[in-house]
Structure 1
Amino acid sequence: MRSVVLDALDNLKAKDVQEIDVRGKSSVADLLVIASGTSSRHVKSLADEVVRKAKQAGQPPIGVEGQREAEWVLVDLGDVIVHVMLPRTREFYGLERLWTVGDAEYAAAV
């Protein structure tokens, strides 16, 4: 599912795509994928593309939240959770910082 998500985001030119391995930190998912869109319309289009590609791959989302406002759209694909956000929303919530506290390998990469 990881490659399906990354391909979908790449197809529509998502910005600053980050992957965070959350195995051992969360029982909800194994991987978080965080990406930015340039506008609310772009955020919604990116999330819609992820949903479309996941359905084509035979794994429809468990849930999708935030499509109406499209400042932050979450697509739950089970083991992979995708967050597509406007840059200001992404900066405000700081999911990368939240999920990588204490991760030496992530801190060195940033």
Structure 2
Amino acid sequence: MPASPAPKSVSPVRTPDESIDALHRIILASLEDDQAIETVSIPLSGKSTIADYMVVTSGRSTRQVASMAAKLAERVKAETGRPARIEGLPTADWVLLDAGDIIVHLFRPEVRSFYNLERMWAFGDAPAVAGPVHEPFED
């Protein structure tokens, strides 16, 4: 009697919320690994249809911002199979990475301070801080 084939491993089915949370963890871990500065995560679920989270962070230079964005796009693709779209990579003052359910803004500190996206998108809520404490609403 021939040997029966080995059972196929079944990967667990994730709900949309679990997939978004997993993507969020991947993004935050990648930014932390690349020593991003003052990473802030703003939940947008129920407030906007563009994404479930907006992550805003900084790099110390255009080279670091570009490197973080490129590595983040590669990591999202490798771990989720989803391509991430990138805008602003050539100048790397402000790079936007669209990972579908999560939008990531990577800035040089001066450019981040000028645009102050945290204040614009926080909807009166304090954003969730991932990393060193950052008080974006100080006057």
TM-score under structure 2 length normalisation = 0.73
In 1, the alpha carbon distance for the partners of 2:102 and 2:91 equals: 22
What SS does structure 2 have at the residue aligned with 1:67? coil
Specify every segment of 5 or more residues in structure 2 that has no aligned partner in the other structure, as ranges.
1-22, 128-133
Q: Conserved in 2, the CA contact under 8 Å of 1:41 and 1:70?
A: yes
Question: Could you say which structure has the higher helix fraction?
Answer: 1
2:83 pairs with 1:60? yes
2:24 pairs with 1:24? no
Superposition deviation, residue 12 in structure 1 = 1.0
Specify every segment of 5 or more residues in structure 1 that has no aligned partner in the other structure, as ranges.
none
Q: 1:44 aligns with which of 61, 66, 69?
A: 66
Superposition deviation, residue 35 in structure 1 = 0.7
Q: 2:122 aligns with which of 97, 100, 109?
A: 100
Instruction: Write the deviation string for residues 15-70 of structure 1: whole angstroms up to 9, x where unpaired.
Output: 10110001122101000011100000000001011101001111211x21000010
Q: Give the aligned CA root-mean-square deviation in angstroms.
A: 1.3
In 1, the alpha carbon distance for the partners of 2:47 and 2:110 equals: 26
Percent identity reads 40
What SS does structure 2 have at the residue aligned with 1:73? strand
TM-score under structure 1 length normalisation = 0.91
Superposition deviation, residue 7 in structure 1 = 1.2
In 1, the alpha carbon distance for the partners of 2:55 and 2:82 equals: 16
Q: Moved runs in structure 1, 4+ residues, more than 6 A? A: none
Paired amino acid for 1:82: V
Q: 1:90 aligns with which of 103, 109, 112?
A: 112
Q: How many residues align?
A: 106
Larger-Rg structure: 2
